């Protein structure tokens, strides 16, 4: 009795559920995760909209969830899912898919950190080797400096010789002088051409 009352109240506020399903269908097809920084927002909104549908456990929506990720990252997630679960999305829950996505993102972050550390160690190794070689009289290995890089200047030839153009100022001459007497005042008008 109480459940039916609650359901009728919800339906009176919400209206027809088919209209809501079509709106969520449009939103689900257009939602994307532009960067991994927006992943939490993407998960919250996608899961909220999918779980309101009757067909929320279909493989299509799980594949759509993965396809909404950034393209290169989505391919890495698909590869990881195929190695772990043999592409059987029916058995997977959204929670497992999200955990695979998080693990893949953390692996990528760790790889990027390791690459940065290797690059720093390589630069410091060249400096250390340079000092070692200098101690025994060998020429040290120095990486090319970007600050002291010599710039090659190309000669620039003009097709026409450079001329400085100066505009001549107009000289005004006094053509006519009109004298107009108005009462006690005298006004002189000068016309320049």
* pLDDT digit string (tens) for the chain, length 193 residues: 677 777 777 777 766 666 677 777 888 888 888 888 888 989 988 888 888 888 888 888 888 999 999 989 999 999 998 888 886 777 888 899 999 999 999 999 999 998 988 888 877 766 666 566 666 666 655 556 655 666 666 666 666 655 555 656 655 544 444 444 444 444 444 444 4
Q: Using only C-alpha atoms, what is the Rg of the chain?
A: 39
Asked, for residue 3, whether it belongs to a domain, the answer is no
How far apart CA 33 and CA 67 sit, in angstroms, is: 9
**0.75 exceeded by the pTM?**
no
User: DSSP string of 87-104?
Assistant: T-TTT--HHHHHHHHHHH
Asked, for residue 142, whether it belongs to a domain, the answer is no
Asked, for residue 106, whether it belongs to a domain, the answer is yes
- Number of domains the chain contains: 1
Residue 182 phi/psi, 5-degree rounding, is -120, 105
CB 77 within 8 A of CB 36: no
Asked, for residue 58, whether it belongs to a domain, the answer is yes
Identify the domain containing residue 40 by its residue range.
Answer: 31-110
Asked, for residue 16, whether it belongs to a domain, the answer is no
């Amino acid at each position: 009795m109480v459940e039916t009352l609650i359901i009728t109240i919800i339906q009176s506020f919400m209206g027809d559920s088919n209209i809501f399903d079509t709106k969520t269908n449009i939103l689900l097809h257009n939602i994307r995760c532009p960067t991994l920084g927006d992943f939490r927002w993407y998960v919250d909104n996608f899961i909220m909209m999918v779980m309101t549908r009757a067909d929320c456990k279909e493989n299509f929506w799980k594949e759509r969830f993965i396809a909404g990720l950034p393209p290169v990252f989505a391919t890495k997630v698909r590869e990881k899912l195929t190695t772990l679960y043999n592409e059987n999305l029916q058995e997977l829950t959204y929670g497992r898919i999200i955990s695979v996505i998080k693990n893949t993102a953390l692996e990528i972050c760790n790889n990027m950190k390791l690459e940065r550390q290797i690059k720093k160690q390589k630069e410091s190794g060249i400096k250390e080797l340079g000092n070692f070689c200098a101690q025994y009289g060998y020429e040290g290995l120095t990486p090319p400096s970007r600050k002291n890089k010599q710039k090659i200047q190309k000669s620039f030839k003009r097709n026409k010789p450079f001329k400085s153009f100066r505009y001549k100022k107009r000289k005004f001459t006094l053509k006519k002088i009109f004298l107009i007497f108005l009462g006690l005042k005298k006004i002189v008008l000068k016309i320049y051409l």
